[in-house]
Amino acid sequence: MEDFYTIQGEGFYQGHAAYFIRLGGCDVGCVWCDVKESWDASAHPLVSIQEMTNRAKASGTDIVVITGGEPVMYDLTELTGALKEAGLKTNIETSGAYPITGEWDWVCFSPKKFKAPHSSIYGHANELKVIVYNKSDFSWAEEFAEKVNPECELFLQPEWSKEKEMLPLIIDYVKKNTRWKVSLQIHKYMNIP
């Protein structure tokens, strides 16, 4: 759908320069999705893996973030292979809706209520990032924290439109449950993609 060099605004790699490759296509259907234009893959032009890799490499980045849409809808073996061959780190942002393919340096698993994750994601997740839209999402987040590896980084992030309401609850929760950390979408404060 698009690719661009920016700053990772969320989660464990927050603040790092990163080249984003956003793959078109998503069937998860989050009501609050802020990239609904990504859902229809056919609305976006096909770009070759070599072209995407060349653009990422030319940007000067060390890290490539594959996002969507829902990237695990696709077999990502070839794409991640080309990126690794170019000496780039491969990170992914996924809801885990399908079994993950490819070679990853970092897997950010962000489950969504609208489509249950495939159970194979739990062993792959380096980071669990739960978007908090309402109060019930805290107990929902804990269900996933029990399923991922003990060393998995845990983040709670307010849904953007609910930030004023949810952030105070998240701060309070993290102070009481110190395995969790707060994630904010800092790219939105910087007015960058």
> By the criterion CB under 6 A, which residues form the site for ligand SF4?
26, 28-30, 33, 35, 38, 68-70, 95, 112
Nearest distance from residue 73's CB to ligand SF4, in Å? Answer: 10
7 vs 30, beta carbon nearer ligand SF4: 30
Instruction: Work out how close the CB of 35 gets to ligand SF4 at its nearest, in angstroms, rounded to a whole number.
Output: 5
Closest CA to 155 of 134, 139, 170: 170
Give Cα separations from 49 to 78, 122, 125 (angstroms).
Answer: 8, 27, 25
Residue 64, strand partner residues: 19, 90
Parallel, antiparallel or unpaired: strands 153-158 and 127-132: parallel
What is the nearest approach in angstroms of ligand SF4 to the Cβ of residue 5? 21
Cβ proximity to ligand SF4: between 33 and 174 the closer is 33
Burial of 155 (0-12, 13-18, 19+ CB in 10 A): buried
d(CA 85, CA 102): 13
**Of 61 and 67, which has the nearer Cβ to ligand SF4?**
67
Q: How far is the CB of 94 from ligand SF4 (least distance, A)?
A: 8
